[in-house]
Amino acid sequence: MTNIQRGLAELIGTFWLVFGGCGAAVLACNFPASGIGFAGVALAFGLTVLTMAYTIGHISGCHLNPAVTFGLWAGGRFPGKDIPLYVVAQVLGAVIAAYLLYFIASGQPGWEMGGFAANGFGDHSPGKYSLVAGVTMEIVMTFMFLLVIMGATDTRAPAGFAPIAIGLALTLIHLVSIPVTNTSVNPARSTGQALVLQGWALEQLWVFWVAPLIGGILGGVVYKALGADATVRPPVEGEAL
């Protein structure tokens, strides 16, 4: 695959992640009064990753997340020279999705933006959790996400099932951490929503770059240290690297 093809795949995949996951939070979580709730939003995020892994996993590896890209690099699974391409594509996809979501949501009479599925801590945490709690949660969850990704795509793991494990892991991550930070574990996802919402979301955005990147890199390093096979086998169709 060419760099253009891989970059475009990451852009489209991250667009789907943000549009599907954040779209569920913005449009369906509380609509009507008995909307899909946190559990539904968590499932929506998991389904976006699962479906995209089967769709573009054989093209780009389906990272959809700068923390995953850096984590795979730290774990010896991804070349450093391709990091800028992937991160730029992921952020662009997230931003396009966020603005399109705003355009659609604002078409409802009387609609108010509210938190717009942005990530935050303190007064802007769904459960009013502190900065320290939020940073800890983001690091731990991204760390575990990378362990699952690297383990599920190890050369010794059953082939073809990685997207299911990864999608379910992201669902679980959201079920646990939505009350704390509204769940980032993904700097691109956080950036798109923050750029639309502006204000406090942009002021707190640094946390949702720093913490997930730390967690992702630690996850890659630790899995590699476990003695895992870092050799990348030819991608199985629909499987993330």
188 within a domain of the structure (yes/no): yes
In a domain, 128, yes or no: yes
Q: For residue 71, tell me if it sits in a domain.
A: yes
Does 203 reside within a domain?
Answer: yes
Per the structure, the complete domain to which residue 30 belongs is given by 3-108+116-225
Q: Look-up: residue for tokens 């991550």?
A: 173
Please report, for the domain that includes residue 183, its CATH number.
1.20.1080.10
Is residue 240 in a domain?
no
Assigned domain for 237 exists: no
Encode pLDDT of 194-230 as tens digits.
999 999 999 999 999 999 999 999 999 999 999 755 4
* Tokens describing residue 241: 């690297």
CA distance 214 to 200: 22
Rounded CA separation 98/43 (Å): 19
Give the tokens for residue 223: 């899995």
Q: Tokens in use for 207?
A: 């946390």
Residue 46 placed within a domain? yes
Percent of the chain with pLDDT over 70: 92
Q: Is residue 238 part of a domain?
A: no
Domains held by the chain: number: 1
pLDDT, tens digit, 9 for 90 and up, residues 140-174:
999 999 999 999 999 888 878 999 999 999 999 99
Name the H helices within 24-159: 37-60, 66-74, 83-105, 131-152
Q: What is the mean pLDDT of the chain?
A: 92
Q: Is the pTM of this model over 0.75?
A: yes
